[in-house]
Amino acid sequence: AQSVSQHNHHVILSEAASLELGCNYSYGGTVNLFWYVQYPGQHLQLLLKYFSGDPLVKGIKGFEAEFIKSKFSFNLRKPSVQWSDTAEYFCAVMGTTSGTYKYIFGTGTRLKVLA
């Protein structure tokens, strides 16, 4: 079955702590991977993406993610979080089958950063 699993539903960190949010996917064939973020009161927006090439991708606001094909994982990391990183984070997969597209989102991780 095609799916995206995010291991942590709620994460609470203090400012300056390191962050790693887990994401594993199950999808046959070529995939493109995304992390989206939704700040309080704002729309979903793209944080970073992986299509091909270097499996370590960098996004906005100091976030990065590493694609590990053998583990079907695309974990999100940030060395030092800030209070303004409080948001909900979604991992997503876009797959292609016979020229049509399908997008699968994880259930999301709510991150709260304490000042």
Judged by beta carbon, residue 62 or residue 95, the one nearer another protein is 95
Q: By C-beta, is 17 or 74 nearer to another protein?
A: 74
How many Å is the Cα radius of gyration of the chain? 14
Our finding on whether 13 is near another protein (CB under 8 A) is: no
Give min distance, CB of 7 to another protein, in A: 14
- Is the dihedral angle over the CA atoms 51, 7, 102, 95 positive or is it negative? positive
Please identify which residue in the block is written with the tokens 């994982």: 73
CA distance 29 to 81: 34
**Cβ-Cβ contacts under 8 Å for 13 (sequence gap 6 or more):** 19, 81, 111, 112, 113, 114
Smaller CB separation from another protein, 69 or 101? 101
User: DSSP character for 51?
Assistant: -
**Options 4, 19, 76, 87; binder of another protein; rule CB under 8 A:** 4
> Between residues 17 and 104, which has the closer beta carbon with respect to another protein?
104
Residues 34-73 that bind another protein (CB under 8 A): 43-46, 49, 51
Helix, strand or coil, per DSSP, at residue 71: helix
Options 100, 113, 114, 115; binder of another protein; rule CB under 8 A: 100
**For binding to another protein (CB under 8 A), which residues are involved?**
4, 32, 43-46, 49, 51, 90, 92, 94, 96, 99-108
